[in-house]
Amino acid sequence: MSDGPLTLTLNGKLRQFEKVPDSERLLDTLRWRAGLKGTKEGCRTGGCGACTVLVNGEPTLSCLLLSHEIDAEKVTTIEGLASEKIGRVVIKAFTEAGAVQCGYCTPGFVVALAAQLRGAGPPPSVESLLDGLEGNLCRCTGYRAIQKAVEAVHEALK
């Protein structure tokens, strides 16, 4: 094990971490080295989507990724998205639709939805946006309110 240094562009800022074990997952680097606990730890097996972040703009399960695999790349977490316009639109829609109950899955949903809406041009269809949330599990809401939030976001960006 080499425990080498790691560099990430994290929410737009260059961050360096010393002695990061080769076996460390991005989820743990974000939560316990960078202090960004908005990315939630769920199943750690890629089954729940609670740990979704953006790596170079692509939604990625941070529990399945070794941090060193993405050395020097760009990572955006829920904390970063919350200060972007699209993040604010999505968070507002979730809040107003009653799509947040325990809230543990919510940052993952927000990231997975916002990821599909960051590009220029009109938003993808509601159906396509929902397809993009198939990897995110919610146990509280029964998803109906989340579907409404997706529709509201789509309407707001159309």
Among 145, 152, 153, 154, binds other proteins (CB under 8 A): 145
133 near other proteins, rule: CB under 8 A: yes
Per CB under 8 A, which region of 6-14, 47-55, 66-74, 117-125 contacts other proteins?
A: 47-55
Per CB under 8 A, which region of 9-17, 29-37, 54-62, 67-75 contacts other proteins?
A: 29-37
Complex with other proteins: residue 10 or 78, whichever CB lies closer: 78
CB of 17 to other proteins, least distance (A): 15
Q: How far apart are CA 99 and CA 150, in angstroms?
A: 10
Measured at the CA of 81, the angle between CA 103 and CA 104, to 5 degrees, comes to 15
The count of chain residues that interact with other proteins, using the rule CB under 8 A, is 54
* DSSP-derived 3-state class of residue 94: helix
107 near other proteins, rule: CB under 8 A: yes
> Bridge partners of 147?
none
Q: How far apart are CA 21 and CA 18, in angstroms?
A: 9
Q: How far apart are CA 143 and CA 136, in angstroms?
A: 10
17 near other proteins, rule: CB under 8 A: no
